[in-house]
Structures are given as structure tokens and as C-alpha cells.
Amino acid sequence: MTSAIVGYARTSTLDQMAGLEAQLRHLEASGCHRIFKEQLSSVDTKRPELERALDYVREGDTFVVTKLDRLARSISDLVKIKDRLLAKGVTLKVLDPSLDTSTPTGKLMLSMLGSIAEFERDIMLERQREGIAKAKAEGKYKGRAPTARRKAADVRTLRAEGKTVEAIVRELGVSRSSVFRALREEKAAAS
């Protein structure tokens, strides 16, 4: 059985198409025969394509990502993934910076860079919390933008007026699923 080079690409949001396309180009250029991709935040508890990729790889394969932050959300997450790959006899390769866990130096660098990345993220989140606290204290913090859920009453009113789902979507600027959710919740509350 021949070994495979398997890639994994991830962006945090659907808006990051250019970032996903760049990752796919790099993975293809590095010889990946199969690439798993998804567009969701690494803080999401489930990353189905990552799970599929980790289940797919076999002994002797190489698992490739463009950057560490595309793979893991923390050093403990990185260690779990690395250990899972190691148990299957799979090498982890990171393209930027160039790391290969088939070498002792690559293993060391992976651990060090993972720790640094987690530290940087923690510092960034701490600064963000401090900035929000300061803005709140100065009365400048507005909070999250209104969500579709806050427009549920408008959805129900427009539907009662006989408007179609498509018309409600256009008028309120919400998704079809938000309209259906608001209508379902109304129906459930009435029962």
C-alpha cells in the first residue's frame, strides 16, 4: 500500500474565500492527493472535516496543513491531534513555518511554536477584554449588532400580513432559516 499526502484547510468564516483558496493552492502544490476543507471557527466544538481527515489517514501517510492555527485552537488541542496522528503512524507537516514531525527538531519546533501561538492568542484576548471594559466604562461600547432573533416579532407581523418568506427575507435582511425559526417558535409557543 502506498502512502498518501493528505491536506486540511480551514477558515473561520464563509467570508474568507480568498484565504481558503490560498490554503488549497499551497496544499495542492505540496503534493496533497486528498484535501479536507471547512469554513468554521476553531472554537467550534466539532470540526467534522478535521475528524474525517484524521480518520482517513493511515500508517505512513503525511498530514499537511498550511499553518498551525488552521489546525489547532490551543497547545493541548495540538498535542491531542499530534498524538492521534503519531498513534496511527502518520507524520504531521506544517508548511509555514516548515515543520515536519518525522524529525526530532520538527517535533520540538512544533511544541514550541504551538505554545507561542497559544500565548499570543491569550494576550490578544486579554487586550480585547481590556478594550471592551474601557469602552464600557466610557459609555462607548455598543455590544453586538442586532441579531435576526430580535426581529422575530417583525417576522411574525409580516407573515400575518400575508407576505411570503422570500419577501420577509428581503425586507428584514435576515436569512430564510431565521424566518422559519421565528415562525416555528411562534407555533411552539401557541401549542
Q: Which of 12, 30, 42, 74 is catalytic?
A: 12
Phi and psi, residue 172, nearest 5°: -95, -15
Give the span between the Cα atoms of 102 and 106, in whole angstroms: 7
Closest of 44, 50, 121, 123 to residue 80, by C-alpha = 50
Can you tell me which residue has the cell 484576548? 125
Which residues fall within 8 angstroms of residue 59, CB to CB, at 6 or more apart?
88, 89, 90
Instruction: Clarify whether 115 is annotated catalytic.
Output: no
Give the span between the Cα atoms of 183 and 123, in whole angstroms: 42
**Could you give the residue numbers annotated as active site?**
12
